[in-house]
Amino acid sequence: MKSTDSLLISLYQKGDEEALSTLIHRHQRELFTFILYKINDQDLANDIFQDTFIKIIVMLKEGRYNEEGKFILWAKRIAQNLIIDYFRAKAKNVKVSETTFENDEFSIFDLIREPSENIEDQLVSLQIQEDLLKMLQFLPENQQEVIKLRFFDGLSFKEIADHTDMSINTTLGRVRYALINLRKIMEENNIVLTR
Protein backbone atom coordinates (compact mmCIF):
# COMPACT_ATOMS: atom_id res chain seq x y z
CA MET A 1 0.00 0.00 0.00
CA LYS A 2 1.28 3.43 -0.97
CA SER A 3 2.11 5.66 1.99
CA THR A 4 0.44 9.08 2.05
CA ASP A 5 2.51 12.25 2.08
CA SER A 6 1.29 12.97 5.60
CA LEU A 7 2.47 9.57 6.82
CA LEU A 8 5.87 9.99 5.16
CA ILE A 9 6.26 13.42 6.77
CA SER A 10 5.32 12.03 10.16
CA LEU A 11 7.81 9.16 9.77
CA TYR A 12 10.57 11.55 8.71
CA GLN A 13 9.92 13.81 11.69
CA LYS A 14 10.37 10.73 13.87
CA GLY A 15 13.78 10.04 12.33
CA ASP A 16 13.03 7.88 9.27
CA GLU A 17 15.33 9.31 6.57
CA GLU A 18 14.04 6.84 3.99
CA ALA A 19 10.59 8.43 4.28
CA LEU A 20 12.05 11.74 3.13
CA SER A 21 13.72 10.07 0.14
CA THR A 22 10.37 8.57 -0.87
CA LEU A 23 8.65 11.93 -0.51
CA ILE A 24 11.26 13.73 -2.62
CA HIS A 25 11.24 11.04 -5.31
CA ARG A 26 7.44 11.18 -5.49
CA HIS A 27 7.28 14.94 -6.13
CA GLN A 28 10.64 15.93 -7.63
CA ARG A 29 9.51 15.90 -11.29
CA GLU A 30 6.40 18.02 -10.69
CA LEU A 31 8.25 20.49 -8.48
CA PHE A 32 11.19 20.86 -10.86
CA THR A 33 8.84 21.35 -13.83
CA PHE A 34 7.00 24.05 -11.87
CA ILE A 35 10.26 25.90 -11.11
CA LEU A 36 11.61 25.56 -14.65
CA TYR A 37 8.32 26.86 -16.10
CA LYS A 38 8.56 29.94 -13.90
CA ILE A 39 12.17 30.88 -14.70
CA ASN A 40 13.03 29.15 -18.00
CA ASP A 41 16.64 28.46 -16.99
CA GLN A 42 17.78 24.87 -16.42
CA ASP A 43 20.80 25.62 -14.22
CA LEU A 44 18.99 28.16 -12.09
CA ALA A 45 16.02 25.80 -11.79
CA ASN A 46 18.35 23.10 -10.46
CA ASP A 47 19.76 25.49 -7.85
CA ILE A 48 16.33 26.65 -6.70
CA PHE A 49 15.07 23.05 -6.69
CA GLN A 50 17.88 22.08 -4.32
CA ASP A 51 17.31 25.15 -2.14
CA THR A 52 13.60 24.38 -2.00
CA PHE A 53 14.15 20.90 -0.60
CA ILE A 54 16.73 22.20 1.86
CA LYS A 55 14.14 24.67 3.13
CA ILE A 56 11.46 21.96 3.19
CA ILE A 57 13.75 19.74 5.29
CA VAL A 58 14.44 22.55 7.75
CA MET A 59 10.75 23.43 8.04
CA LEU A 60 9.71 19.79 8.50
CA LYS A 61 12.30 19.36 11.25
CA GLU A 62 10.96 22.49 12.93
CA GLY A 63 7.41 21.15 12.69
CA ARG A 64 6.27 23.98 10.42
CA TYR A 65 4.39 21.89 7.86
CA ASN A 66 0.73 22.87 7.56
CA GLU A 67 -1.34 19.76 6.86
CA GLU A 68 -4.39 21.73 5.74
CA GLY A 69 -3.20 21.53 2.13
CA LYS A 70 -1.40 19.07 -0.08
CA PHE A 71 2.35 18.73 0.39
CA ILE A 72 3.14 19.53 -3.25
CA LEU A 73 1.19 22.82 -3.11
CA TRP A 74 3.08 23.79 0.04
CA ALA A 75 6.38 22.88 -1.64
CA LYS A 76 5.50 24.97 -4.70
CA ARG A 77 4.82 28.01 -2.54
CA ILE A 78 8.23 27.61 -0.90
CA ALA A 79 9.83 27.38 -4.35
CA GLN A 80 7.91 30.44 -5.53
CA ASN A 81 9.16 32.48 -2.58
CA LEU A 82 12.75 31.44 -3.32
CA ILE A 83 12.32 32.46 -6.97
CA ILE A 84 11.04 35.87 -5.88
CA ASP A 85 13.96 36.29 -3.47
CA TYR A 86 16.45 35.39 -6.21
CA PHE A 87 15.17 37.91 -8.74
CA ARG A 88 14.87 40.62 -6.11
CA ALA A 89 18.53 40.16 -5.35
CA LYS A 90 19.43 40.20 -9.07
CA ALA A 91 17.47 43.28 -10.01
CA LYS A 92 16.67 45.40 -6.98
CA ASN A 93 16.10 48.56 -8.97
CA VAL A 94 13.62 47.23 -11.51
CA LYS A 95 10.38 49.21 -11.40
CA VAL A 96 7.36 47.15 -10.45
CA SER A 97 4.87 46.94 -13.30
CA GLU A 98 1.13 46.54 -13.07
CA THR A 99 -1.54 45.41 -15.45
CA THR A 100 -5.21 45.72 -16.38
CA PHE A 101 -8.12 43.31 -16.41
CA GLU A 102 -9.21 41.49 -19.53
CA ASN A 103 -12.72 40.01 -19.73
CA ASP A 104 -13.43 37.76 -16.72
CA GLU A 105 -9.83 36.85 -15.97
CA PHE A 106 -6.83 39.08 -15.43
CA SER A 107 -4.23 39.55 -18.12
CA ILE A 108 -2.08 39.82 -15.00
CA PHE A 109 -2.33 36.05 -14.53
CA ASP A 110 -1.04 35.51 -18.05
CA LEU A 111 2.00 37.58 -17.13
CA ILE A 112 2.59 35.41 -14.09
CA ARG A 113 2.45 32.19 -16.09
CA GLU A 114 4.33 33.34 -19.19
CA PRO A 115 8.00 32.31 -19.18
CA SER A 116 10.52 34.93 -20.21
CA GLU A 117 14.27 34.93 -20.72
CA ASN A 118 14.46 38.55 -19.62
CA ILE A 119 15.37 38.81 -15.93
CA GLU A 120 13.60 42.14 -15.54
CA ASP A 121 10.39 40.72 -17.03
CA GLN A 122 10.63 37.74 -14.72
CA LEU A 123 11.05 40.00 -11.70
CA VAL A 124 8.08 42.10 -12.74
CA SER A 125 5.95 38.99 -13.16
CA LEU A 126 6.97 37.64 -9.77
CA GLN A 127 6.43 41.00 -8.09
CA ILE A 128 2.96 41.20 -9.63
CA GLN A 129 2.24 37.77 -8.22
CA GLU A 130 3.40 38.83 -4.78
CA ASP A 131 1.28 41.99 -4.93
CA LEU A 132 -1.74 39.95 -5.98
CA LEU A 133 -1.25 37.64 -3.02
CA LYS A 134 -1.47 40.71 -0.77
CA MET A 135 -4.70 41.82 -2.46
CA LEU A 136 -6.16 38.35 -2.04
CA GLN A 137 -6.13 38.90 1.72
CA PHE A 138 -9.15 41.17 1.26
CA LEU A 139 -11.20 38.28 -0.17
CA PRO A 140 -13.10 35.66 1.86
CA GLU A 141 -10.91 32.64 2.64
CA ASN A 142 -12.83 30.31 0.32
CA GLN A 143 -12.27 32.70 -2.60
CA GLN A 144 -8.60 33.14 -1.73
CA GLU A 145 -8.16 29.38 -1.84
CA VAL A 146 -9.62 28.84 -5.32
CA ILE A 147 -7.66 31.75 -6.81
CA LYS A 148 -4.39 30.43 -5.39
CA LEU A 149 -5.11 26.91 -6.60
CA ARG A 150 -6.19 28.05 -10.07
CA PHE A 151 -3.71 30.78 -10.94
CA PHE A 152 -0.73 30.29 -8.66
CA ASP A 153 -0.61 26.50 -8.38
CA GLY A 154 -1.94 25.87 -11.90
CA LEU A 155 -4.66 23.38 -11.00
CA SER A 156 -7.52 22.66 -13.41
CA PHE A 157 -11.09 23.34 -12.30
CA LYS A 158 -11.61 19.59 -11.89
CA GLU A 159 -8.50 19.32 -9.70
CA ILE A 160 -9.71 22.25 -7.59
CA ALA A 161 -13.12 20.63 -7.25
CA ASP A 162 -11.50 17.38 -6.09
CA HIS A 163 -9.13 19.22 -3.73
CA THR A 164 -11.91 21.24 -2.09
CA ASP A 165 -14.70 18.64 -2.26
CA MET A 166 -16.85 21.00 -4.34
CA SER A 167 -18.68 20.45 -7.63
CA ILE A 168 -17.08 21.87 -10.77
CA ASN A 169 -19.98 24.33 -11.12
CA THR A 170 -19.44 25.60 -7.58
CA THR A 171 -15.71 25.89 -8.28
CA LEU A 172 -16.30 27.87 -11.47
CA GLY A 173 -18.72 30.19 -9.67
CA ARG A 174 -16.36 30.78 -6.78
CA VAL A 175 -13.44 31.65 -9.08
CA ARG A 176 -15.69 34.02 -11.04
CA TYR A 177 -16.89 35.82 -7.89
CA ALA A 178 -13.34 36.04 -6.60
CA LEU A 179 -12.21 37.69 -9.85
CA ILE A 180 -15.13 40.12 -9.74
CA ASN A 181 -14.24 41.03 -6.15
CA LEU A 182 -10.57 41.50 -7.06
CA ARG A 183 -11.66 43.81 -9.86
CA LYS A 184 -13.67 45.87 -7.36
CA ILE A 185 -10.74 46.03 -4.94
CA MET A 186 -8.44 47.34 -7.67
CA GLU A 187 -11.02 49.85 -8.90
CA GLU A 188 -11.75 51.10 -5.37
CA ASN A 189 -8.04 51.59 -4.80
CA ASN A 190 -7.64 53.30 -8.17
CA ILE A 191 -5.19 50.67 -9.40
CA VAL A 192 -4.92 50.85 -13.20
CA LEU A 193 -1.93 48.94 -14.40
CA THR A 194 0.00 48.64 -17.63
CA ARG A 195 3.17 46.82 -18.50
Give the residue extent of every domain in the chain. 1-89, 91-195
> Is the distance from CB of 97 to CB of 106 less than 8 angstroms?
no
Q: Within 13 Å of residue 13, how many CA atoms lie on the same side as its CB?
A: 14
> Is the distance from CB of 19 to CB of 11 less than 8 angstroms?
yes
3-state secondary structure 129-165: HHHHHHHHCCCCHHHHHHHHHHHHCCCCHHHHHHHHC
- Per-residue pLDDT tens for 33-86? 998 888 878 888 888 888 898 888 888 888 888 766 688 888 998 898 888 877
What number does CATH give the domain 91-195? Answer: 1.10.10.10
CATH architecture classification, 1-89:
Orthogonal Bundle (1.10)
> Is the distance from CB of 86 to CB of 48 less than 8 angstroms?
yes
- Per-residue pLDDT tens for 98-157? 333 334 444 445 444 444 445 555 555 566 666 677 777 888 888 888 888 887 777 788
Q: Which stretch of DSSP H or E encloses residue 107?
A: helix 107-113
Q: Is the pTM of this model over 0.75?
A: no
